[in-house]
Structure formats: structure tokens, C-alpha cells
Amino acid sequence: MTSSVIQKRLRAFAAGEKAVILQRFFKTGPGQYGEGDRFLGVVVPDIRKVMKEFRDTPLAEVAKLLRSAWHEDRLLALLILVDQYERGSDALRNKVCALYLRNTRYINNWDLVDLSASKIVGAHLDGGSRALLYRFARSTSLWERRIAIIATFHFIRQNDFADTLALSEKLLADEHDLMHKAVGWMLREVGKRDVAVLEGFLRKHHRAMPRTALRYAIERFPERKRKKYLNRDKRRATRD
């Protein structure tokens, strides 16, 4: 179960034409959020197949995959980490989370964050201090900021909304569209479980919310109510 053996297996599924599509989809061009990322052209279902074959890979070898220049290697590493965290002892979970937090620089696209942050970071902070999320929310790293808000999905699933709301408020001024989407998505998830909580947040903050965040947050509202919020936002933009 060495990283080189795993990489060889993963590359058996690579397709050059798919790599070109993925590089465009994940914005890898100059100045884009995924600048310089490299793709083999392996689709997620095939990566999951490889994960099941190598799910018990030692963490030292998983770390090598996580630090790879290739996106699919990093995605595979994170899937293995999530699987080991969910199946592991307390000791293993501590090691998995520590490895994750030491290597956030390699968790550097939205899909990598979204499949792992709540299942490792959120789960690990459950029942303890969540100060780490607020530190990450102040990070200069887009991906650490996204980890902060997406990690709260774990709490949302337990009808615990306090940190999602507090972090969303702190991140309203974030300039990156990927953060607007992440905040809006988590607020929508809150609303799916308790719409009154979401509407309370919107009454206080919707005029300050980036339009993308607002659109994501109210996506499940009845059309009439959704238009009411969007029209208010449009009037605000006109005045500004």
C-alpha cells in the first residue's frame, strides 16, 4: 500500500480528454482560483473504487498522496482519510485530523474542501472548542476560510446552528465568490431544518449579503418570497 502503487492503480483510469475538461471546470488558468492545478482525468466514481481497494493505507503514505501535484491523488487521499476517520478509533481519528490540519495548503479546491471538512474537522470539533473555525475564518487562505464554514455542516445535521450563523456573519464581507456560495449553501442547509432560524438571520443581514450568498440561501423559498428578498437586494444595489 505504498503511495506509488496507489498512484499507478489510479492512473489506470486516467483519460486525457477528461483531464482537459476538468482543468477548465476547476478554473486552473492564470489568475483563477485553481491556478496551476493538474488533472489526470479520473472521474470520482473511479477514484472511489480505488479508495475502497486501499482504504487501510498507512497515514504516512496517504500524506504523500495528499501532497501530490495531481488533483486526483489529493482527492483520493482525502477520501481515504474520511473513510479511516469514520471507521477509526479515537487515537486514529486524532491522527487523521492532525494530518489534515497540517496539510490544508494541499486541500486547495472547493471539491476537496467540500468532501472532507465537515466529516473530519467538523466531526472532530463536535463536543469541544470550535475556536479553530474562527481562526480559519480569518485566514488569508481561501481554502481555510471555506473549511471553516463547510465544517459546520456537521453541526447543522445535528440542528446545531450557532457556529454556522456566527461564521456566516463574519464572512459576509469576504470578497471571493466561492465563499459567497459556501456561506449561502450552509445557510440554505440551516433553512432546510429550521426556516425560522434562517429568516431571522436574513432579516438582520440580507441587505449586507453578497447577492450570490443571498440567492443560494433562499433557493428553497417559495418564488414569491424569494423575489421579495431579491428585489430588496436589487433596490439596495441601485441606491449604492
Residue 31 CA to residue 64 CA, distance in Å, equals: 27
pLDDT surpassing 60 at residue 83 = yes
CA distance 92 to 94: 5
Better pLDDT: 16 or 191 = 191
Question: Do 154 and 148 meet the contact criterion of CB atoms below 8 Å apart?
Answer: no
pLDDT value, residue 236: 53
Domain end residue (candidates: 105, 135, 163): 105
Do both 41 and 73 map to the same domain?
yes
CATH number at residue 146: 1.25.10.90
Alpha helices (H) along 12-125? 16-25, 44-53, 59-66, 71-87, 90-102, 110-114, 123-125
Are 138 and 233 within one domain? Answer: yes
Q: What is the mean pLDDT of residues 85-102?
A: 98
- pLDDT (average), residues 39-44: 97
To the nearest whole number, what is the mean pLDDT of the chain? 95
| Domain count across the chain | 2
Whether the model clears a pTM of 0.95, i.e. scores above it, the answer is no
Confidence of residue 234 (pLDDT cuts 50, 70, 90): low
Assigned domain for 111 exists: no
141 with 35, same domain: the answer is no
8: helix, strand or coil:
helix
Q: Closest Cα to residue 62, out of 87, 43, 88, 81? A: 81
Do 17 and 67 lie in one domain? The reply is yes
Q: In angstroms, rounded to a whole number, what is the distance separating the alpha carbons of residues 234 and 237? A: 5
The confidence band for 238, taking pLDDT boundaries of 50, 70 and 90, is: very low
